[in-house]
């Protein structure tokens, strides 16, 4: 069994983007063929495609879709259309850093090609979007190769949220090690925390591991302590939204609790992260701003209201895990072990 591609480009410049409509998961696998930028904008907006790397790829392809039919040979006219496309796509998810990164990268490419005919620039834009996808897949694959070395035949590992193939071009970050270990013929099993409030573990991680033929057991977040206490878990891998210079990191709410439990039970705790998420300009985790989200995610998460009207809710989207709970970071360049302040700078510093 294999996981379908999260997002890909079908055909040539007159082709289209094809992506898994993740709003229908885990009950239905349906592909959305995206022929115009408006459809891509909506797909990003309503989370048909989600996960920072996948959003970047979608935005780059959206740029292609936006300008490929602009009928001009005048660079300034074309550049203005590229500019409008970027501004438009950036409004789809105003907090998604990779969205801005991808549209800017496409704009810079266009700028650098101003001497070329517009038709060739369009072609190079498509190649760039595909490059972004391939770079991401290669990076995730490298993370998976490094991570798989940590997993032994017969192991059960635990993961939280979805730092999975569905969030990237392929492989995922936290899940990549599982897929590569499986390819290597290791018999592995994964516990997936359901990850309240939005249930990415239940809806996405359990689904993609199942698709890939990796045995997976779904648990509620508060069962992690028990499966660890029972000796069922040999390691933990999670993703990260941002890693600071001292090794503190932000990730989906609930990660901190898993990290503390892993330490208590002597289970190694790894953070799979591309180098692009390592922010050496931020000294430590206390500087990371934590987004609070709307209470309805907690009170009406399952299709009907499950808490009293008017109840006060605290709903932080992320938590910050201090570096002392991290065994090592798994990056595309290899493992980073403590002391993190020294070793992160050595490997990723300017």
Residues 83, 88: Cα–Cα separation, whole Å? 9
215 scored as a contact of a second copy (CB under 8 A): yes
Interacting residues with a second copy between 305 and 334 (CB under 8 A):
305-316, 319-320
241 scored as a contact of a second copy (CB under 8 A): no
Interacting residues with a second copy between 141 and 200 (CB under 8 A):
191, 193-197, 199
Please say which residue, 77 or 306, places its beta carbon nearer to a second copy: 306
Q: How far is the CB of 316 from a second copy (least distance, A)?
A: 6
- 3-class DSSP state for residue 43? helix
* DSSP character at residue 291: -
Residues 158, 192: Cα–Cα separation, whole Å? 6
Residues with a known catalytic role: 241
Please say which residue, 136 or 193, places its beta carbon nearer to a second copy: 193
Interacting residues with a second copy between 14 and 53 (CB under 8 A):
25-27
Show Cβ contacts of residue 277 under 8 Å, excluding neighbours closer than 6 positions: 52, 240, 241, 242, 243
Among 96, 227, 250, 288, binds a second copy (CB under 8 A): 227
Q: How far is the CB of 135 from a second copy (least distance, A)?
A: 30
Please say which residue, 102 or 262, places its beta carbon nearer to a second copy: 262
- 20: phi then psi, degrees, rounded to nearest 5: -75, 125
Q: How far is the CB of 345 from a second copy (least distance, A)?
A: 26
239 scored as a contact of a second copy (CB under 8 A): no
Residues 201, 206: Cα–Cα separation, whole Å? 6
Q: How far is the CB of 327 from a second copy (least distance, A)?
A: 17
Q: How far is the CB of 177 from a second copy (least distance, A)?
A: 20
Q: How many residues at the interface with a second copy, by CB under 8 A? A: 56
List own/partner pairs for 73-78 with CB under 8 A and 24 or more apart. 73/117, 73/118, 73/119, 74/118, 75/114, 75/118, 75/121, 78/110, 78/118, 78/121
């Amino acid at each position: 069994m294999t996981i379908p591609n999260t997002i890909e480009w079908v055909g040539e410049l007159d082709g289209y983007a094809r992506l898994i409509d993740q709003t229908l998961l885990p009950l239905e696998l349906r592909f959305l063929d995206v022929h115009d930028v408006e459809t891509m904008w909506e797909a990003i907006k309503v989370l048909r495609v989600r996960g920072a790397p996948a959003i970047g790829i979608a935005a780059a392809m959206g740029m292609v879709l936006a300008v490929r039919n602009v009928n001009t040979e005048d660079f300034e006219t074309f550049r203005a259309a590229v500019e409008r496309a970027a501004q438009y796509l950036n409004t789809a998810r105003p907090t998604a850093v990779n969205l801005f990164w991808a549209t800017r990268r496409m704009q810079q490419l266009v700028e650098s090609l101003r001497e070329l005919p517009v038709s060739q620039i369009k072609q190079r834009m498509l190649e760039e979007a595909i490059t972004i996808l391939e770079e991401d897949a290669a990076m995730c694959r490298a993370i998976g190769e490094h991570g798989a070395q940590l997993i032994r035949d017969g192991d059960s590992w635990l993961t939280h949220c979805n730092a999975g193939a569905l969030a990237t071009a392929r492989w995922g970050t936290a899940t990549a090690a599982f897929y590569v270990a499986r390819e290597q013929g290791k018999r592995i099993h994964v516990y997936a925390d359901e990850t309240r409030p939005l249930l990415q573990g239940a809806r996405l991680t359990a689904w993609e591991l199942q698709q890939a033929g990796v045995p997976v057991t779904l648990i509620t977040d508060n069962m992690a302590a028990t499966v660890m206490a029972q000796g069922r878990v040999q390691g933990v891998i999670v993703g990260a939204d941002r890693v600071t210079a001292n090794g503190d990191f932000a990730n989906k709410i609930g990660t901190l609790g898993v990290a503390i439990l892993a330490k208590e039970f002597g289970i190694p705790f790894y953070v799979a992260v591309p180098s692009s998420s390592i922010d050496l300009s931020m000294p430590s985790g206390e500087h990371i701003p934590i987004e609070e989200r709307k209470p309805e995610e907690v009170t009406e998460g399952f299709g009907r209201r499950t808490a009293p009207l008017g109840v006060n809710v605290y709903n932080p989207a992320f938590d910050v895990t201090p570096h002392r709970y991290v065994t090592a970071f798994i990056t595309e360049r290899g493992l980073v072990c403590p002391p993190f302040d020294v070793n992160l700078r050595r490997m990723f510093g300017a």
